[in-house]
Amino acid sequence: MSKKKKIRVDFIKNRGKVPRENDFTRDFKSDSEKIDDLSGTEQVRAKGDISRKRTIITDDNQNISGGEIRPAADLANAIPGRVIQITGLTILVQVEFGIVYRCTVRRLLKTLATEERSAVTVGDKVWIIPQQVQSKQDAEKTDLNGLSDNSELPEGVVQTVEPRKGILTRKSKNKDHVIVANVDQVVFVISLSQPDLKVHLVDRYIAGALEGGLDPVLCFNKVDLVNEDQYQSLVGLYSQLGYKVMFTSTKTGAGITEVRNILSNKQSVVCGQSGVGKSSLLNAVQPNLGLRVNDVSEVNQKGKHTTTSAKLIPLDSGGWVVDTPGIRSFELSNQMPSRVENFFREFRPMLPYCEFADCTHTHEKGCAIKRHVFRRGISSDRYLSYLGMIKKEDVHENRNER
Ligand SMILES: Nc1nc2c(ncn2[C@@H]2O[C@H](COP(=O)(O)OP(=O)(O)OP(=O)(O)O)[C@@H](O)[C@H]2O)c(=O)[nH]1
Ligand SMILES: [Mg+2]
Ligand SMILES: [Zn+2]
């Protein structure tokens, strides 16, 4: 039997406050984030911050993992499944035999304050209690594409969420928002044109993946629109650093087999700005998926946020992949120089040679990193990315005289 333990936990801070109306109209906000915001609409008799704690009983061995606190749940009648999509307040969970339930979240799960912003996210392994007994006849693989709306699906309640392994997070309102959980690798789609390539974003992507414990894969798409030769040195830089890099085109079919191979038997997420071709790429990898794609705006060369919620897609070749809505920016959750430097693999061998152990590689004398940038041993673009990613407040002014 697992050991039970009493702990005191905070309510989510915004609980009890009236949510701002425009929170729901922002053009980019994932649905799982909206769920958290909605907890603020529940009526709560708040007596100031001090009273906003409640005691819950947790399973010692299950609920505290990586800072996450999960309430104990009655799992006797629960069945395991995986969250494949979140639309509005509905969480779609696929269980055995491919049956999909539309679920809500157990109230206590929703009100607990966790380090992360999302109580439940796509890719989560969950235990649900079905609210309706499935007749044998209905118990067949759900074809979501064949449904006009989710109301036809059987209902369930998410009881508990298993500890997450590989996660991809995005910072929003100073809280980490988990875009997807339990993935092995993240395929970043970067377009070489329409929208134009932004090299510093690539370095942010790599760091974000490493921070979440994921392998980054770089997919430079729309190679049909440019002269590939001009990008060889860039691609060379990243492959020398040991990252998987590929050129692709959904128009000519270039690199599609490579993408298919890299996704096969893995749990992946595809990520990148709107309009770079994430959904087009998945449609090319697995024809008949029918993911919606849309033109890039001629006015500002930006995508139109065609994909609106993260969606988990089982692959014919084994494994699954999550298509995500376009992201605008990508910030690390911890921007301390001593942390960010670890995401620049080529810095590592030089770090012991900086004169100061706590060197931020900005203004200090005797900085080995700056020396190598000057000697072109480290790419100046990569160094500029590092500078752009560290939090300026953490670079102490009082070290100026060094
Ligand atoms: N020329 C060219 N166009 C492409 C390629 N891949 C995608 N596109 C076009 O780029 C546009 C955007 O493609 P989507 O697949 O919708 O992009 P997305 O990354 O899924 O965008 P969001 O869902 O908004 O995040 C569409 O008009 C595609 O036809 C490519 O390899 N070459
Ligand atoms: Mg899309
Ligand atoms: Zn240094």
* pLDDT tens-digit series, residues 234-258: 999 999 999 999 999 999 999 999 9
pTM: 0.77
Q: Which residues line ligand 1 (CB under 6 A)?
A: 221-222, 224-225, 249-251, 272, 274-280, 293-296, 303-307, 325-326
- Parse the chain into domains and list their residue ranges: 4-161, 183-323, 337-399
Residue 263 Cα, ligand 3 centroid: separation in angstroms?
38
Apex CA 166: angle with CA 105 and CA 68, to 5°?
A: 50
pLDDT at 402: 40
Residue 144 Cα, ligand 1 centroid: separation in angstroms?
23
- Report the distance separating Cα 291 and Cα 321, nearest Å: 13
Residue 371 Cα, ligand 2 centroid: separation in angstroms?
42
Among 109, 103, 115, 267, residue whose Cα is nearest residue 177: 115
Among 76, 84, 95, residue whose Cα is nearest residue 32: 84
Asked if 4-161 and 183-323 have one fold, the answer is: no
| pLDDT by position in tens, the chain (length 402) | 445 555 555 444 443 344 333 333 333 333 333 333 322 222 222 333 333 444 444 444 443 333 444 556 677 889 999 999 988 788 999 998 889 999 988 776 666 545 445 789 999 999 999 987 655 555 567 776 666 677 788 999 999 899 998 888 877 677 777 889 999 999 999 999 999 898 999 999 999 999 888 999 999 999 999 999 999 999 999 999 999 999 999 999 999 999 999 999 999 999 999 999 999 999 999 998 888 888 887 777 778 788 888 889 999 999 999 999 888 777 787 889 999 999 999 999 999 999 999 999 999 999 999 999 999 999 999 999 999 999 776 666 434 434
Q: What is the DSSP letter of 335?
A: -
For residue range 127-159, list pLDDT tens digits in order: 999 987 655 555 567 776 666 677 788 999 999
Give the closest residue (by CA) to ligand 1 atom 1: 222
pLDDT at 23: 33
Cis peptide before 337 (omega within 30 of 0): no
Tokens standing for residue 205: 């992507």
Of ligand 1's listed atoms, the one at least distance from the Cα of 293 is 16
Residues whose Cβ atom is located within 5 A of ion ligand 3: 354, 359, 361, 367, 369
pLDDT at 300: 72
Among 364, 370, 325, 328, residue whose Cα is nearest residue 347: 370
How many other CB atoms sit within 10 Å of the CB of residue 388? Answer: 12
Query: How many CA atoms lie within 13 Å of 303's alpha carbon, on the beta-carbon side?
Result: 26
Give the closest residue (by CA) to ligand 1 atom 10: 277
pLDDT at 43: 24
Q: What per-residue string of b and e applies to 146-166 under the rule 16 or more CB within 10 Å gives b?
A: eeeebeebbebbbbbbbebbb
pLDDT at 8: 54
Indicate the CATH number for domain 4-161: 2.40.50.140
Residue written as token pair 């966790």? 114
| Architecture, CATH, for domain 337-399 | Orthogonal Bundle (1.10)
For residue range 78-90, list pLDDT tens digits in order: 999 999 998 878 8
How many other CB atoms sit within 10 Å of the CB of residue 367? Answer: 21
Mutating to test ligand 1, I would choose from 280, 289, 291, 329 the residue with most ligand atoms within 8 A of its C-beta, which is: 280
Q: What's the topology of domain 183-323?
A: Rossmann fold (3.40.50)
Give the closest residue (by CA) to ligand 1 atom 13: 277
